[in-house]
Amino acid sequence: MQLARLRPIELQRRVALERGSPYEPPETWVTERMLWADVIPLSVSGRAAYQQVAHSQATHVVRLRGRHAISLGQHRFRWRGQILAPVEPAVDPDGTGRWTTVTVELQGDS
């Protein structure tokens, strides 16, 4: 899949990017901003590939337009009432700054 060829219409999901402080009780998360995104479930072969690099819980890839700084443990996404937590750092897949992809783990309902 070539991410650089995506049209804006393909980013049809609204996700909340939340920032939290999981190290201070009680754990609190606040919406930092709302973003247009594509939330892509990983196929069985995609999950198997991530398991080989120690990300056995990876379930989806979140694709965003533009460059975004998303920190492991400090950010998560809320989509359709579900929590998607990053399992690896955000990536600019083609080096142009047009897209950011984040591999995430579905953690259930909020």
Tell whether pTM > 0.85: no
What is the per-residue DSSP string for 50-95? HHHTT-TT--EEEEEES-----TTTEEEEETTEEEEESS--B-TTS
Query: pLDDT grade, residue 31 (50/70/90)?
Result: very high
Instruction: Tell me which of 3.60.21.10, 3.30.470.20, 1.10.760.10, 2.40.10.270 is the CATH number of domain 3-109.
Output: 2.40.10.270
User: Is a pLDDT exceeding 50 seen at residue 3?
Assistant: no
Overall average pLDDT of the 12-34 stretch: 85
- What is the rounded CA–CA span in Å between residue 97 and residue 27? 32
In the prediction, which pLDDT does 23 show? 67
